[in-house]
A and B are shown apart, each in its own frame.
Chain A
């Protein structure tokens, strides 16, 4: 009788433990791009509301930091505003025998911000390159007042830094006078207070500043949904989630939700553009 009770008690403990494990919420970490930080946080909030058992932690640091975290296993999902480099894919392959899974989750147009008091409204890509490489240092050269241009940009761990350098600067070096700031919010904040400032970052952050249109042979384009999706805006890009392998379980559920109409609606609300 005693033995039977012991077995039943042990079985009960085991069952409760297993049930606890089964019911325990899954913790998911998202790390990386500061451009995607706002969106990731909003997604997390909405998803956790709908799925109370799941805890999602979202942190920034830059795309490079997120990719490194994915490789060393300290994040489930890497948020990146640039595509992974071949050397990063090689590291992921060496560690997990997988080339990783790249999921475009939103679209963005890297936006040039200036002060609302700045009369300049459009620039060509060549002018942007000249400004950010230090070849043009005065607003008067691009139709503005006779005042020095103050450059604001991101730190080199940022995917936006890398994307802007590759596409706008054609891999030329940034001017040494550029002030590197930690996060797009800091760039927007600095530009909003500096009448001679210019900065760049995600379209969703353009509050209290003026967006610069980019002039091409076909016309002058602002980073609107139509221009970004059609690719007419020259600094259009995809924003990504990277995973070590094929998603499963709660992570798959989150990915599917982020790509669903409900998830994509949040993309629009935050200020980015839907992937489709």
Chain B
């Protein structure tokens, strides 16, 4: 029994001990697992956080990349724009410089047919012995292609106070400088006072300054060509505009011109020629009055001629010498321009000028009257009557009339085609008259010297 109790106690103790021991052994194992699990959990949580962060980053990544790229692009474009702005500023600056320089000009290519008269002996020369002889230069007329004018004009205007002009001309057989001048404008009075100096147009009338590129007939009137050859001189000109419609010019010039066979940079007369011109321009009508006072130079001459009888000295010739002279040269002129649209076809213009004065000791007079009718925008018809008398008191042989009908057609904005016919009436002098066997004694004969001109002009 006792044995049974001992065994039962022993079993209980053993069980308890076993349980205790088992519990004792089991406890550290459970803690480790929990720790391990906790560690694992922590690890996983950390990993999850990382993944979540990565996911968040991954989710945010495309948006941020797009935004960054767009911002980058905008920055690039801004830079490019700034670059373009800088280039534009440089270009504008260069362009502003170029705008100060204006290039213009025109070319006139011509065909000319000049009629001729085989009986006209145009030149009479006298040799040193006083023997006269005649020749017939140009009496065969001409049929020729040539370039009448080829102008290239540079106008530099650095500002409102100054301007510089150079015009080069390649005409017929030579290249020359037509214009070389400077214009200075004062900024103080408001009267538009300007000073022009160099080589430029004489401030006379209308036609002298009217560009050949605008003229409806091929050449200026004979009076202008005779009294103002080349239309330019060297000097100085003061221009005043006391009113918006009034312009007054006052000039001092050498008076020698630039289109003269004896053209020189010096002035043989020393005294300057004075030109004054006043113009009132009302738009539809403009009136011009001009005055010229100057001198021309008559160089010394020496003429040797055969004596009619041999004097005691035995010389067969005699020599006459004249001293050089400075002679008066004066002109007065007036002009009118009128523009009005009478017809539905287009505008009508009337231009007229007259001049009278003293030239090389002789009284001269001349002028022209021109009527122009526009027909639509591209065509105009012009008719000019032109007269010049180189010696009013010298009889009928110094008188020339020319009637010129002309048609102008604008091929486009730059090109103009012109056909003109000069019907010239020239009174032959006595020697010309005598050379024509068909001419009755004492009659005045008009030689055949009419001219057809066909011209293509391009203006730029």
CB atoms of A245 and B346 under 8 A apart: yes
B397 contacts partner chain A, Cβ-Cβ < 8 Å = no
CB atoms of B344 and A94 under 8 A apart: no
Give chain B residues whose Cβ lies under 8 Å from the Cβ of A73: 377-378, 410, 413
CB distance from A106 to the nearest CB of B (A): 24
Partner of A244, one of B214, B283, B284, B377: B377
Give chain A residues whose Cβ lies under 8 Å from the Cβ of B344: 246, 248
Indicate with 1 or 0, residue by residue over A56-98, a CB within 8 angstroms of chain B CB atoms.
Answer: 0000000000000000111000000000001001000110111
Please classify how large the interface on chain B is, using the bins under 10, 10 to 19, 20 to 34, 35 or more. Answer: 20 to 34
What residues of chain B have their CB less than 8 Å away from a CB belonging to chain A?
A: 214, 244, 281, 283-284, 339-341, 344, 346-349, 372-374, 377-378, 380, 410, 413
A99 contacts partner chain B, Cβ-Cβ < 8 Å = yes
Chain B: CB-nearest residue to A95: B214
Interface of A is mostly: loop
Give chain B residues whose Cβ lies under 8 Å from the Cβ of A244: 347, 377
Interface pairs A-B: 7 shortest CB-CB: A98-B347, A97-B347, A97-B349, A72-B413, A99-B283, A245-B341, A94-B214
Interface of B is mostly: strand
Knowing A97-B347, A97-B374, A248-B344 touch, does A86 contact B339 (C-beta < 8 A)?
no
Partner of B374, one of A74, A86, A96: A96
Give chain B residues whose Cβ lies under 8 Å from the Cβ of A72: 413
CB atoms of A246 and B341 under 8 A apart: yes
CB distance from A151 to the nearest CB of B (A): 16
Knowing A73-B410, A74-B413, A248-B344 touch, does A97 contact B380 (C-beta < 8 A)?
yes
CB atoms of A97 and B346 under 8 A apart: yes
Chosen A-B contacts, 8 in total, with CB atoms closer than 8 Å, are: A73-B377, A73-B378, A73-B410, A93-B339, A96-B346, A98-B347, A244-B347, A246-B341
What residues of chain A have their CB less than 8 Å away from a CB belonging to chain B?
A: 72-74, 86, 89, 93-94, 96-99, 244-246, 248
CB atoms of A89 and B283 under 8 A apart: yes
Chain B: CB-nearest residue to A71: B413
Give chain A residues whose Cβ lies under 8 Å from the Cβ of B349: 93, 97
Complex Cα distance, B379 from A96, in Å, reads: 9
CB distance from A162 to the nearest CB of B (A): 14
Give chain B residues whose Cβ lies under 8 Å from the Cβ of A93: 283, 339, 349
CB distance from B431 to the nearest CB of A (A): 44
Give chain B residues whose Cβ lies under 8 Å from the Cβ of A74: 413
| Extra 5 A-B pairs, beta carbons < 8 Å, given A93-B283, A98-B340, A245-B374 | A73-B377, A89-B283, A97-B372, A98-B339, A248-B344
Give chain A residues whose Cβ lies under 8 Å from the Cβ of B244: 86
